[in-house]
Amino acid sequence: MTKRGIVKLGDFGISRVLSNTRSKAKTIVGTPYYLSPEIIRSEGYNFKSDIWSLGVLLYEMAALVPPFNAESLHKLAQKILSGKYAPLPPNFSKDTTNLITSLLQIDPAMRPSIHQILNSPQVKIRIKKFLRGDSFKDEFSHTLLHNQNVF
């Protein structure tokens, strides 16, 4: 948490640098709950796998349980591959539900890019609410989005 009360999230227990946005990795590591379908199927994967994991994380933050849960790794993999999970609690907005649904698409090509997520009205509103002026520049100056016109 920053001095201004902004929570930042990162997980670099195992990380892999891809040479460009079209590169694909073929390692199988990470927290099983967050594994994307393409990793489970032993296919090459790219940044869309991270979009899946973001969907799992947002779902878990909203519902307080992971969208896919099982008593064994095999059954967890089957649940992830099915793409079926309980709906979010009804107190969440349709926009939030739609965002998470879009992130948890089985087909990676159907998931939004990070640019599409950042440009969605609900995310843009929150970015503007929490990051103004120099804070905005500071936050986006050291990411993969550096020197790209995201907005």
23 has pLDDT over 70: no
> Tell me, what's the pLDDT at 115?
87
> Can you say how many angstroms the Cα of residue 109 is from the centroid of all Cα atoms in its chain?
14
Topology (CATH level 3) of domain 1-16+25-111: Transferase(Phosphotransferase); domain 1 (1.10.510)
87 has pLDDT over 60: yes
Q: How confident is the model at residue 53 (pLDDT cuts 50, 70, 90)?
A: very high
8 has pLDDT over 90: no
Q: How confident is the model at residue 99 (pLDDT cuts 50, 70, 90)?
A: very high
> Tell me, what's the pLDDT at 66?
94
> Tell me, what's the pLDDT at 44?
82
Q: How confident is the model at residue 26 (pLDDT cuts 50, 70, 90)?
A: very low
Q: Boundaries of CATH 1.10.510.10 in the chain? A: 1-16+25-111
26/2: higher pLDDT: 2
7/45: higher pLDDT: 45
Distance CA 151, CA 148 (A): 9
pTM for the full model? 0.73
- In angstroms, how far is the first alpha carbon of the chain from the final one? 25
124/92: higher pLDDT: 92
